[in-house]
A and B are shown apart, each in its own frame.
Chain A
Amino acid sequence: GAVVSQHPSWVICKSGTSVKIECRSLDFQATTMFWYRQFPKQSLMLMATSNEGSKATYEQGVEKDKFLINHASLTLSTLTVTSAHPEDSSFYICSASIGRVRNEQFFGPGTRLTVL
Protein backbone atom coordinates (compact mmCIF):
# COMPACT_ATOMS: atom_id res chain seq x y z
CA GLY A 1 0.00 0.00 0.00
CA ALA A 2 0.82 3.72 0.07
CA VAL A 3 1.98 3.98 -3.52
CA VAL A 4 2.67 7.34 -5.14
CA SER A 5 3.05 7.69 -8.89
CA GLN A 6 4.40 10.48 -11.02
CA HIS A 7 3.80 11.20 -14.65
CA PRO A 8 5.71 11.59 -16.82
CA SER A 9 8.83 9.85 -15.58
CA TRP A 10 10.92 11.98 -17.89
CA VAL A 11 10.28 14.87 -20.24
CA ILE A 12 12.33 16.92 -22.66
CA CYS A 13 11.01 20.28 -23.73
CA LYS A 14 12.09 23.41 -25.53
CA SER A 15 12.98 26.56 -23.70
CA GLY A 16 9.96 28.79 -23.18
CA THR A 17 7.37 26.02 -23.05
CA SER A 18 5.43 24.87 -20.00
CA VAL A 19 5.53 21.39 -18.54
CA LYS A 20 3.02 19.78 -16.20
CA ILE A 21 3.99 16.98 -13.82
CA GLU A 22 1.36 14.92 -12.05
CA CYS A 23 1.64 13.30 -8.67
CA ARG A 24 -0.97 10.75 -7.62
CA SER A 25 -1.53 8.77 -4.48
CA LEU A 26 -2.85 5.49 -5.85
CA ASP A 27 -4.27 3.70 -2.84
CA PHE A 28 -4.75 6.35 -0.20
CA GLN A 29 -5.97 9.89 0.25
CA ALA A 30 -3.17 12.34 0.82
CA THR A 31 -3.96 15.26 3.05
CA THR A 32 -0.70 16.91 2.14
CA MET A 33 1.63 16.66 -0.82
CA PHE A 34 5.15 17.97 -1.09
CA TRP A 35 7.22 18.89 -4.12
CA TYR A 36 10.99 18.56 -4.03
CA ARG A 37 13.73 19.35 -6.47
CA GLN A 38 16.96 17.41 -6.61
CA PHE A 39 20.10 18.51 -8.41
CA PRO A 40 22.68 15.94 -9.49
CA LYS A 41 24.43 14.33 -6.54
CA GLN A 42 22.68 16.64 -4.10
CA SER A 43 19.98 16.37 -1.52
CA LEU A 44 16.32 17.16 -1.95
CA MET A 45 15.24 20.76 -1.74
CA LEU A 46 11.65 21.31 -0.68
CA MET A 47 9.90 23.63 -3.10
CA ALA A 48 6.38 23.76 -1.72
CA THR A 49 3.77 22.11 0.42
CA SER A 50 0.23 21.73 -0.81
CA ASN A 51 -2.97 20.81 0.95
CA GLU A 52 -6.05 19.74 -0.93
CA GLY A 53 -8.29 22.65 -1.78
CA SER A 54 -5.97 25.39 -0.61
CA LYS A 55 -3.07 27.36 -1.99
CA ALA A 56 0.38 25.89 -1.83
CA THR A 57 2.93 27.17 0.63
CA TYR A 58 6.19 27.90 -1.14
CA GLU A 59 9.62 27.79 0.40
CA GLN A 60 11.73 30.90 0.43
CA GLY A 61 13.37 31.55 -2.90
CA VAL A 62 10.93 29.46 -4.94
CA GLU A 63 9.03 31.49 -7.53
CA LYS A 64 5.35 30.73 -7.15
CA ASP A 65 4.51 32.19 -10.55
CA LYS A 66 7.04 29.94 -12.22
CA PHE A 67 6.24 26.74 -10.36
CA LEU A 68 2.47 26.49 -10.25
CA ILE A 69 1.08 23.89 -7.90
CA ASN A 70 -2.50 22.68 -7.92
CA HIS A 71 -3.87 20.19 -5.42
CA ALA A 72 -7.31 19.59 -6.86
CA SER A 73 -8.17 16.41 -4.99
CA LEU A 74 -6.96 14.20 -2.19
CA THR A 75 -5.20 11.96 -4.70
CA LEU A 76 -3.76 14.39 -7.24
CA SER A 77 -1.34 17.29 -7.19
CA THR A 78 0.24 18.90 -10.22
CA LEU A 79 3.37 20.97 -10.67
CA THR A 80 3.56 23.14 -13.76
CA VAL A 81 6.91 24.62 -14.71
CA THR A 82 5.99 27.69 -16.71
CA SER A 83 8.22 29.17 -19.41
CA ALA A 84 10.88 26.58 -18.68
CA HIS A 85 14.54 27.40 -19.13
CA PRO A 86 17.63 25.16 -19.13
CA GLU A 87 18.33 26.05 -15.49
CA ASP A 88 15.01 24.43 -14.58
CA SER A 89 16.36 21.08 -15.70
CA SER A 90 16.30 18.86 -12.67
CA PHE A 91 14.78 15.82 -11.00
CA TYR A 92 11.42 16.68 -9.47
CA ILE A 93 10.07 14.41 -6.75
CA CYS A 94 6.71 14.55 -5.02
CA SER A 95 5.68 12.95 -1.78
CA ALA A 96 2.34 12.44 -0.10
CA SER A 97 1.43 12.27 3.53
CA ILE A 98 -1.47 10.22 4.80
CA GLY A 99 -2.36 12.34 7.75
CA ARG A 100 -1.46 13.74 11.11
CA VAL A 101 -1.69 10.42 12.88
CA ARG A 102 0.73 8.61 10.64
CA ASN A 103 3.89 10.62 10.40
CA GLU A 104 5.28 9.35 7.15
CA GLN A 105 5.73 10.60 3.63
CA PHE A 106 5.58 8.35 0.61
CA PHE A 107 7.63 9.39 -2.35
CA GLY A 108 6.96 9.18 -6.03
CA PRO A 109 9.60 7.82 -8.41
CA GLY A 110 10.49 11.28 -9.67
CA THR A 111 10.33 13.12 -12.99
CA ARG A 112 13.46 14.09 -14.85
CA LEU A 113 12.97 17.36 -16.70
CA THR A 114 15.42 18.42 -19.39
CA VAL A 115 14.93 21.82 -20.96
CA LEU A 116 16.81 22.37 -24.22
Chain B
Amino acid sequence: GNSVTQMEGPVTLSEEAFLTINCTYTATGYPSLFWYVQYPGEGLQLLLKATKADDKGSNKGFEATYRKETTSFHLEKGSVQVSDSAVYFCALGFGNEKLTFGTGTRLTIIP
Protein backbone atom coordinates (compact mmCIF):
# COMPACT_ATOMS: atom_id res chain seq x y z
CA GLY B 1 0.00 0.00 0.00
CA ASN B 2 0.88 3.67 -0.06
CA SER B 3 2.80 5.19 2.80
CA VAL B 4 4.59 8.38 3.78
CA THR B 5 7.52 8.56 6.17
CA GLN B 6 8.62 11.90 7.48
CA MET B 7 11.21 13.09 9.89
CA GLU B 8 10.16 12.69 13.46
CA GLY B 9 10.07 15.77 15.57
CA PRO B 10 9.96 17.84 17.42
CA VAL B 11 12.32 20.15 15.61
CA THR B 12 13.51 23.31 17.35
CA LEU B 13 15.44 25.97 15.46
CA SER B 14 16.53 29.51 16.01
CA GLU B 15 15.03 32.27 13.92
CA GLU B 16 16.70 32.67 10.51
CA ALA B 17 18.06 29.12 10.57
CA PHE B 18 17.82 26.81 7.57
CA LEU B 19 15.06 24.23 7.72
CA THR B 20 14.85 20.77 6.22
CA ILE B 21 12.09 18.30 7.00
CA ASN B 22 12.60 14.99 5.25
CA CYS B 23 9.79 13.11 3.59
CA THR B 24 9.92 9.88 1.61
CA TYR B 25 7.08 7.89 0.16
CA THR B 26 6.11 4.48 -1.10
CA ALA B 27 3.44 4.25 -3.75
CA THR B 28 2.34 2.26 -6.73
CA GLY B 29 2.36 4.64 -9.63
CA TYR B 30 3.05 8.35 -9.62
CA PRO B 31 1.17 10.25 -6.96
CA SER B 32 0.87 13.95 -6.36
CA LEU B 33 2.81 15.08 -3.31
CA PHE B 34 1.79 17.70 -0.78
CA TRP B 35 2.96 19.54 2.28
CA TYR B 36 0.28 20.72 4.66
CA VAL B 37 0.75 22.97 7.69
CA GLN B 38 -1.36 22.96 10.83
CA TYR B 39 -1.20 25.89 13.22
CA PRO B 40 -2.28 25.35 16.85
CA GLY B 41 -5.98 24.66 17.17
CA GLU B 42 -6.62 24.90 13.45
CA GLY B 43 -7.22 22.60 10.52
CA LEU B 44 -4.75 21.85 7.78
CA GLN B 45 -3.71 24.33 5.15
CA LEU B 46 -2.07 23.37 1.90
CA LEU B 47 1.46 24.77 1.89
CA LEU B 48 2.67 23.51 -1.46
CA LYS B 49 2.32 20.64 -3.87
CA ALA B 50 3.93 18.93 -6.86
CA THR B 51 2.14 16.71 -9.32
CA LYS B 52 4.94 15.09 -11.28
CA ALA B 53 8.60 14.21 -11.10
CA ASP B 54 11.06 17.13 -10.93
CA ASP B 55 8.27 19.59 -10.18
CA LYS B 56 9.13 22.08 -7.47
CA GLY B 57 6.38 23.37 -5.23
CA SER B 58 6.95 26.65 -3.44
CA ASN B 59 5.04 28.99 -1.18
CA LYS B 60 5.88 31.49 1.58
CA GLY B 61 9.60 30.80 1.19
CA PHE B 62 9.15 27.04 1.52
CA GLU B 63 10.19 24.70 -1.29
CA ALA B 64 10.02 21.00 -2.03
CA THR B 65 11.07 19.09 -5.15
CA TYR B 66 9.42 15.86 -6.32
CA ARG B 67 12.29 13.40 -6.64
CA LYS B 68 11.15 10.19 -8.28
CA GLU B 69 14.57 8.54 -8.15
CA THR B 70 14.78 8.86 -4.38
CA THR B 71 10.98 8.86 -3.78
CA SER B 72 11.38 11.98 -1.70
CA PHE B 73 9.74 15.36 -1.23
CA HIS B 74 11.83 17.15 1.39
CA LEU B 75 10.60 20.50 2.69
CA GLU B 76 13.12 23.34 2.90
CA LYS B 77 13.20 26.97 3.90
CA GLY B 78 16.26 29.17 3.88
CA SER B 79 15.41 31.38 6.85
CA VAL B 80 12.66 30.42 9.26
CA GLN B 81 10.58 32.81 11.32
CA VAL B 82 8.81 32.43 14.64
CA SER B 83 5.52 32.47 12.74
CA ASP B 84 6.54 29.24 10.98
CA SER B 85 6.08 27.31 14.21
CA ALA B 86 3.47 24.67 13.42
CA VAL B 87 3.05 21.00 12.59
CA TYR B 88 3.96 20.03 9.04
CA PHE B 89 2.47 17.03 7.27
CA CYS B 90 3.75 15.41 4.12
CA ALA B 91 1.10 13.60 2.08
CA LEU B 92 0.52 11.81 -1.19
CA GLY B 93 -2.59 11.31 -3.26
CA PHE B 94 -3.92 10.08 -6.58
CA GLY B 95 -6.50 12.13 -8.44
CA ASN B 96 -9.60 12.71 -6.44
CA GLU B 97 -8.87 9.96 -3.95
CA LYS B 98 -7.98 10.02 -0.30
CA LEU B 99 -4.68 11.40 0.93
CA THR B 100 -2.12 9.38 2.81
CA PHE B 101 -0.41 11.44 5.48
CA GLY B 102 2.88 11.16 7.29
CA THR B 103 2.90 11.38 11.07
CA GLY B 104 3.64 15.10 11.13
CA THR B 105 6.65 17.06 12.32
CA ARG B 106 6.26 19.68 15.01
CA LEU B 107 8.45 22.70 14.33
CA THR B 108 9.23 25.32 16.95
CA ILE B 109 11.18 28.44 16.09
CA ILE B 110 12.71 30.38 18.94
CA PRO B 111 13.56 34.06 18.67
Residues of A within 8 A of B (CB): 4, 6, 31-32, 34, 41-44, 46, 49, 93, 95, 97, 99-100, 103-110
Residues of B within 8 A of A34 (CB): 98-99
Majority SS of interface residues in chain A? strand
A41 surroundings in chain B (CB, below 8 A): 104, 106
Contact of A93 with B43 at beta-carbon distance under 8 Å, contacts A43-B102, A46-B98, A103-B32 already known: yes
Residues of the A chain whose Cβ atoms lie less than 8 Å from the Cβ of B104: 41-43
Chain B residues 54-111 with CB under 8 Å of chain A are 89, 93-99, 101-104, 106
Say yes or no: A43-B101 contact (C-beta < 8 A), given A93-B43, A107-B44. Answer: yes
Cβ–Cβ contact B101 & A44, under 8 A? yes
Report chain B residues within 8 Å CB of A106.
46
Inter-subunit contact A100/B103 (CB<8 Å): no
Can you name the residue of chain B whose Cβ is closest to the Cβ of A32?
B96
Is B95 a contact of A103 with CB atoms below 8 Å? yes
Q: Which residues of the partner chain A approach B103 to less than 8 Å between Cβ atoms?
A: 42-43
Task: Indicate if the CB atoms of B95 and A100 lie closer than 8 Å.
Answer: yes
- Chain B residue total in the interface (Cβ 8 A): 22
Contact A103 B98 (CB under 8 A): no
Q: A110 is contacted by which of B43, B93, B99 (Cβ under 8 Å)?
A: B43
Q: Which residues of B contact A (CB under 8 A)?
A: 32, 36, 42-46, 49, 51, 89, 93-99, 101-104, 106
Distance of B101 from chain A, by nearest CB (Å)? 5
Q: How far, in whole Å, are A34 and B96 apart by their CA atoms in the complex? A: 11
Q: CB-CB < 8 A to B95: which residues of A?
A: 100, 103
Contact call B89/A97, Cβ cutoff below 8 A: no
Q: Is the CB of B96 within 8 A of A108?
A: no
Q: Which residues of A contact B44 (CB under 8 A)?
A: 44, 93, 95, 107
Are B98 and A104 closer than 8 Å at their CB atoms?
no
Given contacts A31-B96, A46-B98, whether A110 and B89 have CB atoms under 8 Å apart is no
